Amino acid sequence: MAMPVRPPLALALPLSLFLFALGYIAFTLSLDVERMIGDDAGYDPGSRIVPLTVALILAVTMLWEALKARHGATASAEHGGEAGVEPAPRLLALHVALAVAFVVLFRPLGFILASTLLLYGLTLLNLRHVTHRIGMLGGLAGLAGLAVALAYATALYSLARGTIRAGFWLAREHGATLAREPNAQALCVALALALAMLLAGQALRRLIADPQRRLLIQVSVGATMAVYVVFRLLFLVQLPAGLLSW
């Protein structure tokens, strides 16, 4: 659907890419021309020609687009015009900030805590944006909910580790070799976690009256544990343990 794009982005993107292209040209020119090994006759056109040509194409096309945007041309935006669709710059900035924090804290905090933190924070922001009912992120209730979610995730992670250890123990002490197979362990952990989450759901009902807050905690912890089971236990990816080193 065609609709006018806000001028800053319609102009800012081609200008940024134009500057990027200029920078790329300068960078390419600063490099030595490399030729293929063994090309003593110098037939290889060298390492500069393709990047330079392509950067020139980008520079020219983006200058053209920037000039068009400057003269008030319109462009199509993918998601414009739909009812209820509205820009949310603050929400976007907070999402990006939390995602950056996740990348930075992923190793020191560990997968479980960082993921729970990310999911809880983002979902809280979204729910607050939609309903305006849940308090501020920094509010006491929000922080208390986060503390509950982190403690809950830690407990479930401990249960998962305990289940895995029990599997190895069974294999070692009783010869149940199947119990040390990754797929069998993943299945056992998934079942144990599902059961624990069902029981915890009942406990959360008594602890937290607001169903949206309960959903927030269950979703952020449940999704974290599901990703843990798939990537860590099924695919054996070395997700960082961080603070939860047991």
Partner 1 sequence: MHDLAAGLQLILSIETLLWIAAGSILGIVLGALPGLSATMGVALMLPVSFHLPTATGVAMLLAVYAGAVAGASIPAILLGTPGNPNAIATIADGLKMAKQGRAGLALGSAALASLIGGLFSLIVLMSFAPLLARATLLFGPVEKFGLALLGLTLIASISGGQVVRGMAMAAFGILLALLGSDPYTNAPRMPFPEIFARTPLHNGIELIPALIGLFGVSQALVDLERLKAPRPAVPALRLRNLFPSAARLKRMWRVLLESSGIGTLVGMLPGAGASIAVFLAYDRARALTHTPDSGLESTGSGSVEGVMAPESANNAVTGGAMVPVLTLGIPGDAATAVVLGALMIQGVVPGNELFMHNMPLVYAIFIGMAFALVAMFAFQLIGVRLFPHILRVPLSLLIPLVLLLSLVGTFAVDGQAVTKATYNMGVALAMGLIGYAIKKAGYPLVPLVLGLILGAMLEDNYRLAVKLARGDQWVFFQSPILLGMLALIALILFLPRLKRAGILRGARP
Q: What residues contact residue 173 under an 8 Å CB cut-off, 6+ apart? A: none
Letter for the amino acid at 94? L
First to last CA, the chain: 53
Shortest separation between residue 109's beta carbon and partner 1, angstroms: 12
Nearest to 116 by CA among 131, 103, 102: 102
Of the pair 131, 202, the CB lying nearest partner 1 is at: 131
Q: Retrieve residue 229's tokens.
A: 């089971």
Number of helices (H), then strands (E), belonging to the chain: the values are 7, 0
Q: Give the sign of the dihedral formed by CA 95, CA 97, CA 99, CA 102.
A: negative
Shortest separation between residue 163's beta carbon and partner 1, angstroms: 21
Tally of CB atoms within 10 A around 149: 26
Of the pair 162, 211, the CB lying nearest partner 1 is at: 211
Of the pair 34, 143, the CB lying nearest partner 1 is at: 34
Q: Which helix (H) or strand (E) holds 85?
A: none
Shortest separation between residue 192's beta carbon and partner 1, angstroms: 21
Q: Which helix (H) or strand (E) holds 88?
A: none
Shortest separation between residue 234's beta carbon and partner 1, angstroms: 8
Of the pair 102, 166, the CB lying nearest partner 1 is at: 102
Of the pair 100, 147, the CB lying nearest partner 1 is at: 100
Shortest separation between residue 195's beta carbon and partner 1, angstroms: 22
